[in-house]
Amino acid sequence: MMAWIWYMAPSEEEIQRMQEERAAQDSLRALQTEQEFERPQDIAEPEPEETRPEIGIFGHQAFADTVYTTIETPRQRFTFSNLGGGPIQIELLNHRKYDDTNVVLVADTAKSAYNIGFLSTESLNVETNTLLFRPLHDQQHIIVGEDETAAISYALELEDGRSMTLTYTFHGDRYVTDLEIRFDGVEELISGNYYELGFLSRLRSTERNRSSETMYSAAYVYSGGVLDDINLTSPGSEEQSYTGIVQWVATKNKFFTQIIKPLDPDRTDGAIITGEVTGENDDERTHYTSVLRSRIPADGIGRYTLYTGPLDLYELRDFDREAYDMVDTGFRFLRWFSDPFVKWVVAPFFKFFGGIIPNMGLVIILFAFIVKIVLYPLTKKSFESMAAMRELQPEMKAIQEKYKDNPQAQQQATMKLFKKAKVNPLGGCLPNLLQAPVLITLWRYFQNSIEIRQQGFLWADDLSAPDVIIQLPFSIPFMGDFIAGFVLLMAASMVVQMKISGQGGAANPQMKIFQYVLPVVLFFVFNQFASGLSLYYLIYNTLSIGQQMLINKQIDHVKMMETVDKKKARQMAKEKKLEEKKKRQEKRDDN
């Protein structure tokens, strides 16, 4: 592998050119980031009125100034603008980015992330995030305590006295905000009495590995007990429309989400979700939107609850029991197993022991021990079968030599040997298949678990990201431009395990290379995965090595062969007994 890496390495001229391109891209990204995360005092002024689309009676502005309000809870910090009457920045105070700054989910430069859209009776499309509301609160900075609530309101006032009022209520102990939309006469100016509430802003990137974050970003609709989504893994765009009652809509990145949930789903009439991915590799940018369509209630008040926070099981379960289904816990055909397994076993384990053990890496090691103990009956059967097959290899080789010109007789004699020795050649496969759902679920879960995000262990700074120990001056397909430490140890442990188990062994020497090829392939595949996942498999493989060595000692070759050839077995037992007697005599002589 090292020779292949050396052969494929770019020349010095190519390395210099790549470094220059990367420096230019870094400068561009830094400039974009500086522009995107402007503070409220630097926010651009609203676009001139003459450049806005024609919106008829709704074009009247009873309030002409742009006003910003900051609301801070123990968990979140919001910056609201009366342009659209909604948040233009949402910051999570208890979660950090890879650069050790607070996670900022939304950082638009002008208008509200939430938008109310409808068709007016003048057949004009109206979008409220382009309209100036009148703030109905005096404070510009509001602090909300842990067990407190606070509310702010904005009113869109028309010339004839009709109005639309938005009231947001913040909770200090949750990532939840309540929203009431009050229509006072405005409903008579809305065609069909239908309106759309949507989250139109892009959720900002929070992870160093943009490609991985893009892979797990998506938009969702939960309707009729079914969760549907748009998830783009390559550049492109897509839009999906739904009709009927909708329980909630959402967008998410890898570890964080925003959800719009109506308190009266029966008033909903459908939803629209969109997705767009532009750029390639580290430059990938995702933009998902979710829009909920509703009818104006008889009392003229639309009621919603909004979630903007982490994809945490317990936070989401209090909000909606089905919301955690957005977390990728396994392939679709395994969700019947992986979802309840994660919700009722894995997540509670990490929640409980994470509160007792100060380091999440130690919790992962403990979890690997527990999984190994639970799966011990299955792995024991598999390891015993492999050990027995290894003990029969001399006899199998003799059969191959005896019937080398008669494959049919060779096969019959081999099966007869297995039957007499009471060995099932497939005995090592079925136990592995039975434990596969557990291992696949953990493989997917560890890559999406917010419990291990930003948690360090040994040299790994973040167990939800690769633990880079060697930075390469070039990139290798699938593997990337670095080498991860736990992945390297995991691959080495696989080589040792396969050697001890006898896989690719003496019965088929030409297959010995398999015990090196598979670990190398998995090294390439796992190199860009979460280091917590590699740590888990490293510990699991290490425990498997110890288990296999113990079983190898317990397998009695002589006892096994008694069922094959009693006379030969007795002779072997006699020779073994004489050898042990001789060793004891030599030991006495030495003393």
Say whether both 320 and 380 belong to one domain.
Answer: no
Same domain, yes or no: 318 and 432: no
Ranges 348-362, 418-432, 461-475, 528-542: which has the least confidence = 418-432
Stronger pLDDT, 113 or 209, i.e. the higher one: 113
Q: Return d(Cα 217, Cα 326) in angstroms, integer.
A: 10
Decide: 91 and 77 in contact? Cβ < 8 Å.
Answer: yes
| Residue range 278-304: mean pLDDT, rounded | 82
Give a yes or no: residue 1 inside a domain.
no
Residue 162 lies in a domain: yes
**CA-based nearest residue to 323, from 176, 463, 148, 486:** 176
Looking at residue 434, its pLDDT comes to 60
User: Does residue 561 belong to any structural domain of this protein?
Assistant: no
Q: Are residues 546 and 570 in the same domain?
A: no
What is the model's pLDDT at position 37?
37
Q: How confident is the model at residue 258 (pLDDT cuts 50, 70, 90)?
A: very high
User: CA-based angle 156:183:166, to the nearest 5?
Assistant: 55
- What pLDDT does 526 receive? 78
- Residue 590: Cβ-neighbour burial (10 angstroms; 0-12, 13-18, 19+): exposed
Same-domain status, 570 and 538:
no
- Of 55-69, 133-147, 553-567, give the lowest mean pLDDT range: 553-567
Dihedral (C-alpha) 15, 20, 26, 28: value to the nearest 10 degrees?
Answer: -150
Predicted confidence (pLDDT) at residue 414 exceeds the cutoff of 80: no
Does the pLDDT at position 304 exceed 80? yes
Helices (H), strands (E): how many in the chain?
A: 16, 22
Q: What is the pLDDT of residue 492?
A: 84
List all residues 6 or more positions away from 408 whose beta carbon is below 8 Å from its beta carbon. none
pLDDT surpassing 70 at residue 437: yes
What is the C-alpha separation between 370 and 366, in angstroms, rounded? 6
pLDDT at 533: 83
Inside any domain, residue 5: no
Looking at residue 30, its pLDDT comes to 44
Q: Pick the range with the lowest mean pLDDT from 103-112, 499-508, 517-526.
A: 499-508
d(CA 230, CA 238): 7
Beta-bridge mates of residue 532: none
- How many domains does the chain contain in total? 3
DSSP β-ladder status, 86-96 and 102-107: antiparallel
Please indicate, yes or no, whether residues 295 and 356 belong to a single structural domain of this protein.
no
- Kindly state the percentage of the chain with pLDDT values over 90: 18
Question: What three-state secondary structure class fits 388?
Answer: helix
What is the pLDDT at residue 293?
93
Q: What is the CATH number of the domain that holds 58?
A: 2.70.98.90
Q: In whole numbers, what is the pLDDT of the chain averaged over residues?
A: 78
Q: Is residue 59 part of a domain?
A: yes
Query: Which of 46-50, 518-522, 551-555 is predicted with the least confidence, judged by mean pLDDT?
Result: 46-50
What is the model's pLDDT at position 76?
Answer: 92
The DSSP code sequence of 54-97 is P-GGGG--S-----EEEEE-SSEEEEEETBTTEEEEEEEEEEE-
User: Which residues are bridge partners to 163 per DSSP?
Assistant: 157, 184
Q: What is the DSSP letter of 434?
A: H
Residues 33, 90, single domain; the answer is yes
Instruction: Say if CB 466 and CB 528 are below 8 A apart.
Output: yes
Let me know whether 408 and 374 are in one domain: yes
Same domain, 293 and 357: no
Q: Tens of pLDDT along 65-80?
A: 788 999 999 999 999 9
Res 170: pLDDT: 95
Q: What's the confidence (pLDDT) of residue 7?
A: 58
What is the spatial distance between Cα 129 and Cα 110, in angstroms, rounded to a whole number? 9
pLDDT of residue 36: 40
End residue of a domain, out of 296, 327, 358: 327
Q: What is the pLDDT of residues 201-238, one digit of tens each?
A: 888 888 877 777 888 889 999 998 888 999 887 788 89
Average pLDDT over residues 364-369: 87
Residue 184 belongs to a domain: yes
Q: Taking 90 as the threshold, does the pLDDT of residue 446 lie above it?
A: no
**3-state helix/strand/coil string of 284-344:** CEEEEEEEEEEECCCCCEEEEEEEEEECCHHHHHHHCCCHHHHCCCCCHHHHHHHHHHHHH
Q: Are 284 and 392 in a shared domain?
A: no
Please tell me the predicted confidence (pLDDT) of residue 176: 94
In whole angstroms, how far apart are CA 520 and each of 95, 405, 501, 544?
35, 36, 18, 19
Mean pLDDT of the region 160-175: 90
Cβ atoms within 10 Å of 213's Cβ, excluding its own: 18
Span 242-248, mean pLDDT?
A: 91
Note whether 293 and 369 are same-domain residues: no
163, part of any domain: yes
Mean pLDDT of 119-144: 87
Specify whether 146 is located in the same domain as 273: yes
Q: Concatenated DSSP letters for 205-239?
A: P-SS-HHHHHHT-EEEEEETTEEEEE--SSSEEEE
Of 393-402, 537-546, 563-572, the range with the lowest mean pLDDT is: 563-572
Q: Give the per-residue pLDDT at 31.
A: 43
Contact assessment for residue 377 and residue 419, using Cβ atoms and an 8 Å cutoff:
no
Per-residue confidence (pLDDT) for residue 476, from 0 to 100: 77
Domain of residue 359: give its range.
349-555
Q: Which of 263-277, 344-358, 574-588 has the lowest mean pLDDT?
A: 574-588
| Cα distance between residue 256 and residue 30, in whole Å | 23
In a domain, 446, yes or no: yes
Q: Is the dihedral of CA 454, 457, 458, 460 positive or negative?
A: negative
Taking only the tens place, the pLDDT of each residue in 1-34 is 556 555 555 566 665 665 565 555 444 444 444 4
Is residue 401 located within the same domain as residue 312?
Answer: no
